[in-house]
Structure 1
Amino acid sequence: MASVEECRAALVKLVAQFDEIDAEDRAKHVVERTVSCRVSDLDVTFHGRLHHGGLEPFGETPPQDGQPADVKLTLISDDLVALVNGELDLARALLGGRIKIDASLGDLLRLRRLL
């Protein structure tokens, strides 16, 4: 089991990877969305925001508006670290039930193009 610190580091890396995506591609496929990443084995949820400028750093404090996230990911700590490090294929993890994503179909299709 990865630690909370390792999960934080993985999310920092994810934000950096997202920043490397071409700005035109982001502009075509990104719609502003709030994102939550629940790490079930650590019982911690990280919150972030996706927008045309990129992916904001994740934090553990929920948004002040109290609204649920538009895109919700649920996974275990080891899978989060493996996914960000490129050791776990997102499609296989989804099909195998290792990662759960609660989002609209449109959001899923947009995310697929960016990941």
Structure 2
Amino acid sequence: MATIEECRAALEKLSDTLRGAEDDVRDAAAMDRSVSCRVTDLDVTFVGRLTGGRLEVDDTLQGPPPEKAQIRLAMSGDDLVALVDGELNFARAWGSGQVTLEASLRDLFRLRKLL
């Protein structure tokens, strides 16, 4: 089972990847949205913003977040690490319910370029 530190490192790696992205991916990452990533098996939620082409994690909270973020992800810690490392296909994981993603329809269209 992935630790909180490994999950935070995976989110930092994702942020670095987004910052170095090109073309459509860079445009999609340029949104300014609040983000939460709930790690279900650790019962923690990373909260922050997708802004300026980066994912900025501001805090790690025990349990669910007190406020609803504009983009909300939920998955196990192992799945988070596997997704960022390219070992787990997002579309398959989302389709099977292994990963949940909630956002407005407009944001989902933009996010598909990132996934």
| Same fold? TM cut 0.5 | yes
Q: For 1:1-115, what aligned pairs fall within 5 Å after superposition?
A: 1-22=1-22, 25-27=25-27, 30-60=30-60, 67-115=67-115
Q: Structure 1: 5+ residue runs without aligned partners?
A: none
Contact map agreement 2:79 2:88 (CA 8 A) in 1? yes
Instruction: Give structure 1 regions of 4+ aligned residues with deviation exceeding 4 angstroms.
Output: none
Distance 1:81 1:53, change over 3 A: closer
In structure 2, the CA distance between the partners of 1:53 and 1:90, relative to structure 1 (3 Å rule), is closer
What is the TM-score of this pair, normalised by structure 2? Answer: 0.85
TM-score for both structures, normalised by structure 1: 0.85
Distance 1:23 1:51 in 2: 16
**Higher normalized strand content (fraction of residues):** 2
Q: Percent identity?
A: 50
User: What secondary structure is seen at the aligned counterpart in 2 of 1:113?
Assistant: coil
Residues 96/21 of structure 1: CA separation in 2 closer, same or farther (3 Å cut): same
8 Å contact kept, 2:29–2:53:
no
Report how many aligned residue pairs link the two structures.
Answer: 112
SS of 1:110 mapped into structure 2: helix
Output the aligned Cα RMSD. Answer: 2.2
Paired with 2:80 and 2:35, the residues of 1 have a C-alpha distance of 14
